[in-house]
Structure 1
Amino acid sequence: MNIAVIFAGGTGTRMNTKSKPKQFLEMHRKPVLIYTLENFENHPMVDSIILVCLESWIEYATFLLKKFGITKVAKIVPGGASGQESIYHGVKTAQELYGGDNVVLIHDGVRPLINEETITHCIASVKENGNGITVSPAIETIFLKNEENNRVGQIFDRSRCEMAKAPQCFKLQEIFDAHEKARSEGLNHFIDSASLMQYYGHELFTVEGPEENIKITTPSDFYIFRAIMDAKENLQILGL
């Protein structure tokens, strides 16, 4: 089986919204989270979805699933105190429901612009290599921050840099075991699943995805998302 764990546990503090978390903000009367879920709902190779959600918003999320016809969500589970813990809750639920001999695709609920082709390539990468980390090329200069006198630190060769995105995909048993080991060792600082798996010695393989696969974290991200969706809609109207 191929199981998507969609993490929608953020509170959206950088979005500066007081009414709704960022994953529930609406664009054209549809929440960002639903756009994200539809990509996995409509993918023929995705068998099941585990949704990790803010506990106080689970009832609303359940309502949205029914309203927009999302049927592959097997369970909604509450998030944890951190992103790492929330993902663990989703991975643990997938393990309990289906067992470890499956593929898990871990994806941000606020990355609605992922496409079918990238999901397909990620699943293929797990079957061939054991994992698949979605990336896109770095398009700006990257350097280390130097805390002394605002000086620029080491500048990296941009042509050799890539931006880690999502989905990040693994054999379910392996990512579950890594989470269990981190918890037993009291390690809760991992920024994403890729860094967790690399820490425990896994060789990671990249899957190049679309540059527009942005994470909607700030108001400007939301405006970019709206512009891309409007452009796609206009092209469809013109038959292009």
Structure 2
Amino acid sequence: MNIAVIFAGGRGDRLHSHSRPKQFFEFRGKPIVVYTIEVFQHIQEVDAIVVACLEDWIPYLRRQVEKYDLNKVIDIVPGGRKGQGSIYNGLVCAKQHFPENSLVLIHDGVRPLAMEKTIIECIEVAKEKGNSIVCVPAMETIVMKKADGSLEVPDRDSVLMVRAPQCFVLKDVMEAHQKALAEGKHDFVDTCSMMNHYGYELHTIIGTAENIKITTPADYFMFKAIIEAREESAVFGF
């Protein structure tokens, strides 16, 4: 089984919207998180979807799921204080419904532009190697600041920027989360950082640059432009 675990528990202060969290910001009347869910809804290889959401917004999201007939969504669970907690809550739900050898595709609720071919490749590589992390090449020079304040400039050709989804065997990722909880570690920036910390060898695939995370107003306007460009390409056959 292949289960998408979409975490949408943040409030998104950087988007400067006081009316609603960023994942519920709308384009053409449809919330961003619904665009994200639809990506996985329409991929045959994805069997089910679990969403971790801000608890106060769960009734609203349930109505949206029904409105857009997102029938792969098996449950919407409360999010955690941070992304790590939201992901864990989604994984717990997945474990209640599916065998531990299932694959879970962990994805941000505010990454609505992931491509179907990327997600399918993610699944295929994880089946073969145990996990897969979607990345893109670094397009600019990266500078690493050391503890002593000095700077190191790594070779850009060797640097990848981590995106999503990140795909793992359910048993493996649950074990890592439980270790983190037992050790009081709550600040992993993403799941691949956690898995790397606990000694898992990670495997990457290259995704598309347009698979952005909508965090700022500029990201939102870029999202709208990409959607419109995709529609024009479909109409004119570009």
- How many equivalent pairs are there? 238
Residue aligning to 1:24: 24
Unaligned stretches of 5+ in structure 2?
none
Deviates more, 1:27-36 or 1:118-127: 27-36
Spell out the pairing of 1:179-218 with structure 2 (5 A cutoff): 179-218=177-216
Separation of aligned partners in 2, 1:234 and 1:187: 46
Separation of aligned partners in 2, 1:115 and 1:234: 17
Asked whether the 8 Å contact 1:143–1:152 carries over to 2, the reply is: no
Residue aligning to 2:4: 4
Separation of aligned partners in 2, 1:239 and 1:161: 34
Separation of aligned partners in 1, 2:20 and 2:150: 38
TM-score with structure 1 length normalisation? Answer: 0.96
Other structure's SS at 1:76 match? strand
Asked whether the 8 Å contact 1:6–1:106 carries over to 2, the reply is: yes
- The alpha carbon displacement at 1:146 in A equals 6.7
Residue aligning to 1:160: 158
Spell out the pairing of 1:1-240 with structure 2 (5 A cutoff): 1-145=1-145, 153-240=151-238
- The alpha carbon displacement at 1:99 in A equals 2.6
Q: How many percent identity over aligned positions? A: 48
Separation of aligned partners in 1, 2:63 and 2:82: 25
Partner AA of 1:225 in structure 2: F
- The alpha carbon displacement at 1:152 in A equals 7.1
Separation of aligned partners in 2, 1:226 and 1:54: 24
Separation of aligned partners in 2, 1:239 and 1:122: 27
Partner AA of 1:55 in structure 2: E
Partner AA of 2:30 in structure 1: K
Separation of aligned partners in 1, 2:159 and 2:5: 27
Separation of aligned partners in 2, 1:186 and 1:60: 32
- The alpha carbon displacement at 1:34 in A equals 1.1
- The alpha carbon displacement at 1:176 in A equals 0.4
Unaligned stretches of 5+ in structure 1?
none
Partner AA of 1:111 in structure 2: R
- The alpha carbon displacement at 1:118 in A equals 0.7
Other structure's SS at 2:199 match? coil
- The alpha carbon displacement at 1:208 in A equals 0.8
Other structure's SS at 1:77 match? strand
Separation of aligned partners in 2, 1:206 and 1:227: 28
Partner AA of 1:24 in structure 2: F
RMSD value, Cα: 1.4
TM-score with structure 2 length normalisation? Answer: 0.97
Q: After TM superposition, what 4+ stretches of structure 1 lie above 6 angstroms from structure 2?
A: none
Partner AA of 2:96 in structure 1: E
- The alpha carbon displacement at 1:147 in A equals 8.8
Deviates more, 1:44-53 or 1:91-100: 91-100
- The alpha carbon displacement at 1:55 in A equals 0.2
